[in-house]
Amino acid sequence: QADLRAWLTLPDRVLIGRAVLEPGSHDLQVQFTSDGGAVVTTKELGPIEAQAGEIRFVILHTLQ
């Protein structure tokens, strides 16, 4: 018999972005946009101190 349960809280999309930064302090923000390109919400990431050769992952969640 098939398992008919559903997990309704899973996102319908996962978006990934990449930024290459020069060493130093950077004030970063991410703008989430609608399909038409309008800004829906903005998340401030605050100052990020980038080091030479560093790889950093930032995870953001939104319910928009």
pLDDT per position as a tens digit, 27-39: 999 998 899 999 9
The closest alpha carbon to 20, from 60, 58, 53, belongs to 53
* Predicted local distance difference test score (pLDDT) of residue 1: 86
Mean pLDDT of all residues in the chain?
88
pLDDT along the chain (64 residues), means of 10: 84 86 94 91 91 90 72
Domain borders along the chain are: 1-64
Q: What one-letter code names the amino acid at 28?
A: L
Q: Say which residue the tokens 């989430």 belong to.
A: 32
| Residues making up the chain, counted from first to last | 64
